[in-house]
Structures are given as C-alpha cells and as structure tokens.
Amino acid sequence: MAITLPDLPYARDALAPHISAETLDFHHGKHHRTYVDKANELVKGTPLDSEALETIIRAAWTDKNAALFNNAAQIWNHSFYWRSMKPGGGGRPTGKLAEAIGRDFGSFEKFADAFKAAGAGQFGSGWAWLVVKNGKLDVRKTGNAETPLTEDGVTPLLTMDVWEHAYYLDFQNRRPDYITAFLEHLVNWDFAADNFAKA
C-alpha cells in the first residue's frame, strides 16, 4: 500500500495573500511530494510497506530509524498542517473547544500568546501544536520532523509549520508576522474542534 500525496483541501491560491500559490507550489508540490517519494522508497520490500502511515511513524521512532521517521512524520505533519488552515480562517473557536481554551489557558489571548511563543521560540525548523492530553489542552513545539504521535495519550488538534519553507517566500525572515497571520486569518478552528470532539 503505497503512501500517497494528499490533495490540498483548497485551491493553491485560496490562502492568499497570507500564503501565496507560489509557496504552496513549492511546499506541497515539491517538499511534501519529496517526503512521500522518499518514504515509499524506504519501506519498499519491508514489513512496513503495507502498514498505515501512523504505524510506520511509530515503528520508525521506536527503532530509531531516523531516515524513515523523518520522511514519514513529515508526510503526516504536513497533511495535518494543510487541514489546520482554511480560506477565511482565523479568529476564535466556539463551543466546547473555546470553553476548554478558557479553562486551560485562562483566556484565548493567553492561548494565543503561548502558541505564538512556541512557534517563534522553536530554534531552527519545527512545528507548534495545540494538543490535548488527559482532557487538558496544551501547547507544544517540536523540532524538525518530530510529532506528538510518538507520545502516548496525546492527540494533536492543530499545527503550524515553522520550517522556513512554510513562509519564507511570503514573509522572508519575519516568522512572527507569519504566526500572527496564521492565527488571525488561516487557522481552521472547525478542524481543531472536530479533533477535540474525537479525543
């Protein structure tokens, strides 16, 4: 069962002007595709070549197979990232997720500050995450390809890519501006709420 590159859940120009079609051409069309191609090469002919992507990621993490983990986890992280955004997104969540954010962070503003700090404070490449563990929300940051999937009992709700290839064509070295645009104009709270409901 070959790993496939998922289609974007929107047109390539749908996130403009915050994320351009050119960025998505490179980010999805080249970076994400390369991770898919490389992971398929690495699992071909092994017992993992018929396994689900999440199983491959956890096996590679356990076995300390860095090449396979990095490519497989980046496939999953990116697929999750595309769904963490939507055209006309941003703003604030509603319903039970909003209540949980208020309960666990004190306010939406405090959550936003923590999420921005995670993204801006990730040295080099990585990810900022909103996750839930044991019913409590938390903000995490992970380096390179690392993902909350490797931690038992943690469910990712949304993620923001802070690798330079996610924003450099549109924001150059202004990562904080990209993070602000993500929260104010791009984040898909419906996706996060659905994940929260299933957690």
pLDDT tens figures, 61-75? 999 999 999 999 999
Residue 26 belongs to domain with CATH number: 1.10.287.990
27 is in an annotated binding site: yes
161 is in an annotated binding site: yes
pLDDT at residue 48 is higher than 90:
yes
* Structural domain includes residue 3: no
CA–CA gap between residue 115 and residue 141 (Å, rounded): 9
| Number of domain units in the chain | 2
For residue 130, which of 93, 155, 98, 162 has the smallest C-alpha distance?
155
31 is in an annotated binding site: no
Confidence of residue 1 (pLDDT cuts 50, 70, 90): low
190 is in an annotated binding site: no
* Per-residue model confidence (pLDDT) at position 2: 81
End-of-domain residue from the set 83, 105, 125: 83
pLDDT tens figures, 100-120? 999 999 999 999 999 999 999
